[in-house]
Chain A
Amino acid sequence: MLPPGMGYDRAVTVFSPDGRLYQVDYALVLVNNSPTAFGVSSDKGVALAGIEKKSDALQDRRFSHKIFQIDEHVAATVAGFSSDARILVDQARKLAQANRYFYDEPIDIDYLAKNLGDLVQSYTQTTAVRPFGVSLILGGIDLIGPAVYQLDPAGVYNKYFITAAGINRTEAIEAAKKFYNKGIDLDRLKEIAIISMIASNKTEASPETIRLAYGGIETRKIVMADESEISEIFERVKGKI
Chain B
Amino acid sequence: MQNAEKWGTTTVGLVYDRGVVFSTDTRVIAGSTFVAHKKGKKVLQISDHSAITIAGSVAFAQNLVDILRIEAKTFQLERGYEITIKALANVASIALWRSPPAIQAIIGGYDMFGPSLFQIDPFGGITQENFVSTGSGSPVALGVLESNLKKEKVEEKEAVEVAVEAVLTAMSRDTATGNDFDVAIIDEKGYRELKENEKNEILKAVKRVS
Contacts and interface: CB of A to CB of B under 8 A. Distances in A.
B87 interface: yes
Interface centre among B79, B84, B112 (most CB of A within 10 A): B79
A103 B83 contact: yes
21 contacts: A102-B91, A102-B94, A103-B83, A103-B84, A103-B87, A103-B90, A103-B91, A104-B87, A104-B89, A104-B90, A105-B84, A105-B86, A105-B87, A110-B79, A110-B80, A111-B78, A114-B78, A143-B81, A143-B84, A143-B112, A144-B81
A108 interface: yes
A102 B98 CA distance: 13
Interface of B: 78-81, 83-84, 86-87, 89-91, 94, 112
Contacts of B94: 101-102
A102 B79 contact: no
B113 to A, nearest CB: 9
Given A103-B90, A104-B89, 4 more contacts: A103-B87, A103-B91, A104-B90, A110-B80
Interface of B is mostly: helix
Interface of A: 101-105, 108, 110-111, 114, 143-144
B118 to A, nearest CB: 10
A39 B87 CA distance: 29
Interface centre among A103, A105, A111, A144 (most CB of B within 10 A): A103
Nearest to B126: A104
B90 A102 contact: yes
A114 B79 CA distance: 10
Contacts of B112: 143
Contact of A111 (B79, B84, B86, B89): B79
A62 to B, nearest CB: 37
A104 B78 CA distance: 17
A144 B91 CA distance: 20
Nearest to A104: B90
Contacts of B79: 108, 110-111
A103 B90 CA distance: 6
Nearest to B83: A103
Contacts of B90: 102-105
Give 3 closest A-B pairs by Cβ, nearest first: A103-B87, A104-B90, A105-B87
Nearest to A144: B81
A100 to B, nearest CB: 9
A144 B90 CA distance: 19
A143 B86 CA distance: 12
A114 B80 CA distance: 12
A111 B83 CA distance: 13
B85 to A, nearest CB: 11
Nearest to A114: B78
Contacts of A105: 84, 86-87, 90
